[in-house]
């Protein structure tokens, strides 16, 4: 199973989601992250995301930002988007319905958050990063349960 987490710049939400998910799935799973923009391409995750993950025993400091590519739609089985705008951008890059079916809003898996978005903590403080971490952790647990059931 190959899972891709996608946010805007691939320096806050999706690197955290990638790091969290990697701690929850078996080693034969491949988890990666990407952004819909290339502004931060090649950069490490935001220092606040790195610190928040480290506070929970997860190392994401070696990750590098990258934009989503057309090849990702062939490579990945599931593509989870952090918010509606990101999802619209990702869906616009799909070439067919099969690829479109791989794309979903990350929080849809929690049921009661069907249209909820993972807030972007970039303009916030460490408290916002921790809140996002907790939301992503719950979502990753639900995704794991769904995929492994």
Give the active site residues.
7, 13, 120
Closest CA to 7 of 117, 98, 138, 146: 117
Helices (H), 1-149: 13-22, 47-55, 72-75, 84-92, 97-100, 126-148
User: Do 49 and 16 touch, CB atoms closer than 8 A?
Assistant: yes
Phi and psi at residue 100, in whole multiples of 5°? -60, -35
Gap between the Cα atoms of 86 and 9, Å rounded: 10
């Amino acid at each position: 199973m190959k899972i891709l987490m996608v946010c805007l710049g691939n320096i806050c939400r999706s690197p955290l989601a990638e790091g969290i998910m990697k701690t929850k799935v078996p080693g034969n799973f491949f988890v990666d992250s990407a952004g819909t923009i290339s502004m931060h391409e090649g950069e490490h995750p935001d220092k606040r995301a790195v610190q928040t993950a480290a506070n929970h025993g997860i190392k994401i400091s070696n990750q590098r930002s990258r934009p989503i590519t057309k090849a990702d739609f062939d490579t990945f089985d599931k593509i989870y988007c952090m918010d509606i705008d990101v999802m619209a951008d990702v869906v616009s890059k799909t070439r067919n319905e099969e690829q479109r079916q791989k794309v979903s809003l990350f929080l849809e898996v929690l049921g009661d958050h069907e249209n909820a978005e993972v807030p972007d903590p970039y303009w916030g403080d460490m408290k916002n990063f921790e809140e996002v971490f907790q939301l992503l952790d719950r979502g990753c647990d639900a995704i794991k349960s769904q995929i492994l059931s």
